[in-house]
Amino acid sequence: MKTAAIKIRVLVINGPNLNMLGRREPGIYGKETLEGIIAGLEKLAAERGVALTCIQSNNEGDLVSAIQQAEGTQDGIIMNPAAYTHTSVALRDALQAVSVPCVEVHLSNIHAREEFRHKSLTAAACAGQICGFGAAGYRMALEGLLAVIGGARG
């Protein structure tokens, strides 16, 4: 398999409890670990000439700082804010404060779950949202983000 020269930098942000994937409610989130999801995403990224920086934190402030630090250092963000999707004005504000496009991703279909999960505070600050496709959603998010970045570059 041929890898492309690195031209695009993407930050992948994973929020609270995603470090528990593979053990936490596999009927909802699947059996794949976060490490496995990232490994698959890294393979696709290498094929597309994308350098990934991946973080996971259970702390909202760490995620806000990562978004802020992406300005000028990253070309795009893929973010699974997890439970902060529904509660974090701080993440939304951080996304709106930077010029870095973001695609929000969720393993489960948040719109088919409990009513409190139907509303995303962060999605309106993103270029798009992908949910309900399990680990494949991360790969879809990368492809979508690359289209957004490519469109922005002309």
Domains delineated in the chain: 8-153 (3.40.50.9100)
Alpha carbon distance 77, 33 (integer Å): 20
Q: Going edge to edge, which strands form the sheet with 50-56?
A: 50-56, 8-14, 76-80, 102-106, 128-131
pLDDT at 119: 77
144/152: higher pLDDT: 144
Query: Which residue among 86, 106, 118, 138 is the active-site one?
Result: 106
The pTM of this model reads 0.88
Alpha carbon distance 105, 91 (integer Å): 14
Neighbours of 8 (CB within 10 A): 20
Q: Give the pair of three-digit tokens for residue 90.
A: 């701080």
- With both helix axes pointing from N to C terminus, report the angle between 136-153 and 34-48 in degrees, rounded to the nearest 10: 30
Three-state SS for 84?
Answer: helix
Residue 22 — very low, low, confident or very high, per pLDDT cuts 50/70/90?
confident
Question: pLDDT tens digits, residue range 60-100?
Answer: 999 999 999 999 999 999 999 998 888 799 999 999 999 99
Q: Give the pair of three-digit tokens for residue 148.
A: 């957004």
Q: Look-up: residue for tokens 């250092």?
A: 73
Whether the per-residue pLDDT at 29 is higher than 90: the answer is no
Q: Give the strand pairing for 102-106 and 128-131.
A: parallel
Whether 106 is a known active-site residue: answer yes
Q: Give the pair of three-digit tokens for residue 111.
A: 């719109």
pLDDT at 108: 82
pLDDT at 16: 94
Three-state SS for 87?
Answer: coil
Question: pLDDT tens digits, residue range 103-126?
Answer: 999 998 787 666 755 578 898 999
Query: Which residue among 29, 86, 118, 138 is the active-site one?
Result: 29
φ, ψ of residue 11 in degrees (nearest 5): -95, 130
Whether the per-residue pLDDT at 127 is higher than 80: the answer is yes
